[in-house]
Structure 1
Amino acid sequence: MGEIQVGTASWTDKTLLDSGWYPQTADNPEKRLAYYAKQFPVVEVDATYYGPPAEQTTRLWAERTPEHFTFNIKAFSMLTGHPTKVSAIYKDLRPDTDKKNVYPGDLPPQAYEEIWTRFLSALDPLVEAGKLGALLFQFPPWWGIRRSNKDYLLEVAARCRPLRPVFEFRNASWFDGDNAGETLDFLRKHNLPLVCVDMPQGHKSSVPPITAATADDLAVVRFHGHSDKWTSKDIHEKFGYNYSKKELREWAPKLRALADETRTTQVFMNNCYTDYAQRNATTLIELLGD
């Protein structure tokens, strides 16, 4: 069986800081990251979706964590086709527009290319420290199955090489009927890791909880919870779900089976409200150890 790494999708959420999960001695960002890294071997950085990281920041992350700690980085929204705040773009690359949000097509091609270059370059300190895991490309709910989107997956893989992108879909068409087999076959053919998800069902963005390893080196599973307020614009209402031990116990054999198919399986609790994610991750580690 391959290695299973369990962590959470945040270590800086305000509701987590207010929850009491961190000891009082962890009273600054450096100490909090160090404490987190003693509890879990991996973390997913969500902030990089909202704004690209600075190289100085990633260097500090590398310096403040133990040797074998791993950071997964969520791709900047501009690189996944989401609406992106103009203010989040590098100052010298911002388009001259009255719009608050823009898409890749709103930028000159050279500016778009430069965003790719700077985003990936900022991760160099993590690469040099051997602490960069995967790059999470989570696509928007309207990004359905079609040839041009499959081609973009291959483009992303080529742009990131030798770094490892993983792909999360938020559109059910990728797994509707025969499309499920088509999607998995395509990913396997090109050795591209699918991000498996546990999330609320019955919405336009819902993807079924398929557990499949589509690459020989890596599988990723993200737990989004089952909030009945999934469509809320309040992020804490959307992800504020505390998994029961029974729910997590049912997942343990599925994760072990996934780990039989690939070298490393990463599991992230993304139910980031108060300390739900941290407590659920700890419980899952215990269950996997039983």
Structure 2
Amino acid sequence: MPILIGTASWTDPSLIESKQFYPPEAKSPEQRLRFYATRFPLVEVDSSYYALPSQKNALNWAERTPEGFTFNVKSFRLFTGHQTPPHVLPADIRAALGPVSKRNVYYRDVPEELCLELWSRFQGALRPLREAGKLGAVLFQFPPWFVHGREGFEHIARCADLLAGHRLAVEFRHRSWLNPEQVAGTLDFLRTHGIGHVVVDEPQGFSNSVPAVWEATSPEVAVVRLHGRNAATWNIKGADSSAERFNYLYSIEELADLAEPIRALSDATAQVHVVFNNNMSHYAQRNAAELMGLLGLAA
């Protein structure tokens, strides 16, 4: 299918607590994934951002979903330059790193040989999905302090080299990458390296928000991530969960406006992956089903 629609995670606490999507008998992660896969052809794994995924879990995901189902997997947080608490690192890596006086470590703090080992394990965890034909894009969502410049380009190219053979997609969260003066160079760079550009729908007017640039940069995949349009909560402080930040339900009219550029994007690449990240309650699942209806896509 040229357009796959799904949501970010199938186990979000706000979704489960809402009791608006899963039937009462779907009580375990396995049962929820099996049910989810009857409604949507795509899901984004976000747990891989917080800690390295395991081969066992990936194998279970592949076995519990039908043929043709697709998993997009978020990159481990250390690889994208996010702050990483040492306790989320594998025990042997943490031991090899030695005493850490800081609350968080960053990519630059970890010796090269340990970084390469982490990359190897990440690739290994992706292997069951890839061998099952169910691995979609590996999403690199860079932090707001990852700004346009030589070091940024070099790091993205390094990520692409270390995951050669995988489909990568990059989401920027600093406007310098896609401002009018830099957008053409950014897109050309992604095209040169065969990396998919992530089109975002999100509140505008913040340094950590970027405009929606409806361009495909990979012949294989483009990703559209819909974060909602709640400007009041975009940079909310002290939230108990990400659901509070992305508390937004798209209207049918707003979804209809998005349907046209999504169709156009699908003419420029082999597949478009549309991921709803408005993860308050069952909003993402509701909007994903509504958009599928507007685009004439069956569950």
Fold agreement, TM-score > 0.5 = yes
The answer to whether 1:252 aligns with 2:251 is no
Aligned equivalent of 2:157: 154
Aligned equivalent of 1:131: 134
- Where structure 2 has 5 or more consecutive residues not aligned to the other structure, the ranges are none
Number of aligned residue pairs: give it.
Answer: 289
Corresponding letter in the other structure for 1:3: P
Q: What displacement does 1:98 show?
A: 2.6
Aligned equivalent of 1:204: 207
Percent same amino acid at aligned positions? Answer: 47
Q: Which moved more, 1:3-12 or 1:144-153?
A: 144-153
Residues of 1 paired with 2:224 and 2:30: CA distance?
27
Aligned equivalent of 2:57: 57
Q: Which moved more, 1:137-146 or 1:91-100?
A: 91-100
Quote the RMSD (CA, aligned, Å): 1.2
The answer to whether 1:229 aligns with 2:233 is yes
Corresponding letter in the other structure for 1:180: V
In the superposition, the TM-score normalised over structure 1's length comes to 0.97
Residues of 2 paired with 1:10 and 1:272: CA distance?
9
Residues of 2 paired with 1:183 and 1:52: CA distance?
28
The answer to whether 1:45 aligns with 2:45 is yes
Q: What displacement does 1:40 show?
A: 0.4
Q: What displacement does 1:23 show?
A: 0.5
The Cα offsets for residues 93-122 of structure 1, whole Å up to 9 and x where unpaired, read as 113213221101222221111111111111
Corresponding letter in the other structure for 1:12: T
- For residues 258-273 of structure 1, the aligned pairs below 5 Å read 258-273=265-280
In the superposition, the TM-score normalised over structure 2's length comes to 0.94
Corresponding letter in the other structure for 1:99: K
Aligned equivalent of 1:29: 29
The answer to whether 1:185 aligns with 2:188 is yes
The Cα offsets for residues 65-118 of structure 1, whole Å up to 9 and x where unpaired, read as 111111110000000010001111111111321322110122222111111111
Q: What displacement does 1:12 show?
A: 0.2
SS at match of 1:73: strand
SS at match of 1:27: coil
Kindly indicate whether the alpha-carbon contact (under 8 Å) linking 2:86 and 2:104 is maintained by their aligned counterparts in 1: yes
Residue of structure 2 aligned with 1:144, choices 144, 147, 166: 147
Aligned equivalent of 1:14: 13
Residues of 2 paired with 1:150 and 1:141: CA distance?
15
Kindly indicate whether the alpha-carbon contact (under 8 Å) linking 2:160 and 2:193 is maintained by their aligned counterparts in 1: no
The Cα offsets for residues 174-222 of structure 1, whole Å up to 9 and x where unpaired, read as 1122211111122223322101100111111110011111111111000
Q: Which moved more, 1:258-267 or 1:13-22?
A: 13-22
- Where structure 1 has 5 or more consecutive residues not aligned to the other structure, the ranges are none
